[in-house]
Structure 1
Amino acid sequence: MLTMGVEEEFLLLGPDGAVVPSAPYVARLARAGDQVKPEFLAYQLETTTAVCTRLDQLRRELTLLRQRASDAARRAGASLVAVGAPPFAAGPLGAVTDETRFREMAGRFPGAVVAGSSCACQVHIGVPDRDLAVEVLARIRPWLPALLALTVNSPFAGDRDTGWASYRYHLQQRWPTFRPPGAWAGAARYDRVVSSLVGTGAAYDVGAVYFLARLSERYPTVEVRVADACLSVEDAVFFAAVVRALVATLIEDARHNITTLPIPTGVVDAHLMTAAHGQVRVRRGRTPDGTAPAAAGAVARLMTKVGPALAAWGDADDVYRNLDRLRQEGTGADRQRKAWVRAGSPEGFVDFLAHATVGFAQAHK
């Protein structure tokens, strides 16, 4: 059985939308050990679930961790929000967490500090065979745009609508290694590439090699990193289930030597940009400008690809229910844009984000 775990990154915002640089203090208040800890910037918090095998187990983990972190944030005078980028230009946006590694990374890549303010949802799927895991990385490349399209959740930055569905994707391109994985022949080749990136200074260390999908430095997993932070628990559960089904499918393809046409990195990059702009629609129909680009069918192709694995894992009902919800209500970016209009003020928008973060039911009142 393929195990899964999820790392989620969050922002700490004040009632006025300003970032609150109190993540180390909030992490101590949460009293959850390494499951709740500060991230690169001092207003970012990361949670890490236990290893899970069932979606109901993962849902409980995510809910409890979000609630625990949210309660601690509230005690520190902040709100925990699950968005891909800070929506307002307020507070100390460049405040780096006071840890040696983070300070040195900021010194080496000063232009990428603003990119560090973005938040992701990272899904780990257990694949102990590292050569097989690298084969999965090669085969997952064409599916990355559809995975991003399902999770876009950062349309606002600097008090305005940026025009992106995932402004986080735009920001993260300031890191030299933020790119799709290559089609490498085995773990030894993968390791040489990673070592070269660290050795040449393109990455601070192995953990700072930010491929959109990679081998985890800490766990025997494939780590899919393409997604924005997911607005609700249900969004995160849905995404993790799709990723596990896709990895399981790609493992079977590899074991049966099912060949796929190589896709140039430039094409993958172009499709990722299309998804980040919100042009790969989860909803049925045409894009806002009336066009129907070739990438518009990417999500449908992904769901067809993973369908048999979802059924085999017993996840199909859960996943298709959430897919119907996304098609009706829109992605996190779509829901944020609706809430932005309704809120009428930073206070109202932060309140919406905070409620969406801590519970599915509250997010849909």
Structure 2
Amino acid sequence: MGVEEEFLLLEPDGAVAPKASAVVRNVRTEDQIKPEYMAYQLETATAVCTGLDELRRELTRLRLVAAEAAEKSGVYLVASGAAPLAAGPLGALTSDDRYQRLARRFPEATEAGGTCGCHVHIGVPDRELAAAVLTRLRPWLPALLSLTVNSPFAAANDTGWASYRYQAQLRWPTFRPPGVWASADSYDREVRSLVAAGTAVDESGIYFLARLSARYPTIEVRVADTCLSVDDTVLLAGVVRALVSALIEDVRERAKVVPIAGALVSDQLLAVARGRAHETSRLLRKITPYLDAAGDTGDIYAGMERLRREGTGADRQRRLFQRYGPTSGFVRALAEATAPVSLVS
């Protein structure tokens, strides 16, 4: 497994800071940290990991390196699905030809390009098997989003959403659940058709909530907001890996697939994004045998209990906002939750 995390760069007053290039220059030893779509965003990408402890170390290291580099540029690294206090200028694009083409093709979606997600890659080298698993992931996407909602604010106001990012990303024409495909070839034909129709600029611009990676032999689950803490990200990755393992077994046993209507899944996702609680006990029942096999049961159950006790990232953001209001104290508290000094030890 591997994880890509997207972050905001914020000034102390909460304004977005288009300093990604300068921050990356401060990162002397890393090629796993780079600018994202907007010049006030960074993306980190872990190495391939086989265990949750290894993944936790990688995520922690990358967050700390990125946070220290941001501090040298006078800004904060913040893990939030959307800029909480001030939206970014639409012209603050990273100077990358592909991103410039995206902005020209989809100007109405460019603002959504400044939101931040967490992408979990799970290795499935058999592409036919991966395509079959992708179809079976559809009904589980709302439960995965419910673990990670982390963008309740925009323009210093509570939007009423737990994931404002999800609502904003709907402006991209391919930001939707994966379809029901009979084979990897069917999936590839759909991708080529969308690119040919101008709905995406290239294969990497297909923003399905779960997809076959354009670069790696992986299933890439993209439904999640970027996670406020490393613990949240590790919980998501462990759950996704166990779920993919369970669905692989379903495919191999030729378990019957009940195609879930796209509209139904989308309605469930909207309900979760609006903050309505989503029941996860069915998900845990599904994945527990595979958590047991990987030795991850203790970590994941403890993570679920922590989430029940402390709330989601959106819940924690709201508590911090209630305490500090739209001030530098709120921004600093988000930065400390993103890469706390205690992680150094």
Which range, TM-score by smaller chain? over 0.9
Aligned mate of 2:163, from 159, 163, 166: 166
Asked if the contact 1:21/1:92 (under 8 Å) is kept, the reply is: no
Aligned mate of 2:226, from 197, 210, 229: 229
Residue 298 of structure 2 is aligned to residue 317 of structure 1: yes
What is the Cα deviation at residue 179 of structure 1?
A: 0.3
Q: What's the CA shift string for 1:186-233, capped at 9, x where partnerless?
A: 111111100111111000111110000001111100000000000000
Asked if the contact 1:232/1:360 (under 8 Å) is kept, the reply is: no
Amino acid paired to 1:9: E
Amino acid paired to 2:157: R
- Partners in 2 of 1:353 and 1:101 — Cα distance? 31
Where does residue 256 of structure 2 map in the other structure? 259
Aligned mate of 1:141, from 132, 138, 144: 138
Asked if the contact 1:214/1:222 (under 8 Å) is kept, the reply is: yes
What is the Cα deviation at residue 345 of structure 1?
A: 3.7
Q: Could you say what secondary structure the match of 1:231 adopts?
A: coil
1:264-283 correspondence to structure 2 within 5 Å: 264-279=261-276, 281=277
Where does residue 98 of structure 2 map in the other structure? 101
Q: How many equivalent pairs are there? A: 343
What is the Cα deviation at residue 24 of structure 1?
A: 1.4
What is the Cα deviation at residue 90 of structure 1?
A: 5.4
Aligned mate of 1:198, from 195, 199, 204: 195
Amino acid paired to 2:335: A
Cα root mean square deviation, aligned: 1.2
- Partners in 2 of 1:31 and 1:233 — Cα distance? 23
Asked if the contact 2:133/2:244 (under 8 Å) is kept, the reply is: yes
Q: Could you say what secondary structure the match of 1:151 adopts?
A: coil
Q: TM-score, normalised by structure 2?
A: 0.97
Where does residue 7 of structure 1 map in the other structure? 4
What is the Cα deviation at residue 27 of structure 1?
A: 1.2
Where does residue 342 of structure 1 map in the other structure? 323
Percent identity over the alignment? 60
Aligned mate of 2:122, from 120, 125, 134: 125
Q: Could you say what secondary structure the match of 2:247 adopts?
A: helix
Asked if the contact 1:20/1:43 (under 8 Å) is kept, the reply is: yes
Amino acid paired to 2:211: R
Where does residue 51 of structure 1 map in the other structure? 48
What is the Cα deviation at residue 236 of structure 1?
A: 0.3
Asked if the contact 1:147/1:227 (under 8 Å) is kept, the reply is: yes
Where does residue 302 of structure 1 map in the other structure? 283
What is the Cα deviation at residue 359 of structure 1?
A: 3.2
Amino acid paired to 1:304: R
Q: What's the CA shift string for 1:253-283, capped at 9, x where partnerless?
A: 100011132211010010000111111x2xx
Asked if the contact 2:16/2:40 (under 8 Å) is kept, the reply is: yes
Asked if the contact 1:172/1:178 (under 8 Å) is kept, the reply is: yes
Amino acid paired to 2:54: Q
Asked if the contact 1:94/1:114 (under 8 Å) is kept, the reply is: no
Asked if the contact 2:156/2:326 (under 8 Å) is kept, the reply is: no
Amino acid paired to 2:275: G
Where does residue 83 of structure 1 map in the other structure? 80
Residue 38 of structure 2 is aligned to residue 41 of structure 1: yes
Q: What's the CA shift string for 1:95-128, capped at 9, x where partnerless?
A: 1111111111101100001000100000000001
- Partners in 2 of 1:266 and 1:136 — Cα distance? 20
Where does residue 155 of structure 1 map in the other structure? 152
The answer for unaligned runs of 5 or more in structure 1 is 282-295
Asked if the contact 2:87/2:154 (under 8 Å) is kept, the reply is: no
Amino acid paired to 2:184: A
Asked if the contact 1:232/1:356 (under 8 Å) is kept, the reply is: yes
- Partners in 1 of 2:143 and 2:230 — Cα distance? 20
Q: TM-score, normalised by structure 1?
A: 0.92
- Partners in 2 of 1:187 and 1:34 — Cα distance? 31
Amino acid paired to 1:326: L
- Partners in 1 of 2:342 and 2:327 — Cα distance? 22
CA distance 1:60–1:7, change in 2 (3 Å)? same
CA distance 1:7–1:318, change in 2 (3 Å)? same
What is the Cα deviation at residue 93 of structure 1?
A: 5.0
- Partners in 1 of 2:227 and 2:189 — Cα distance? 33
Asked if the contact 1:63/1:359 (under 8 Å) is kept, the reply is: no
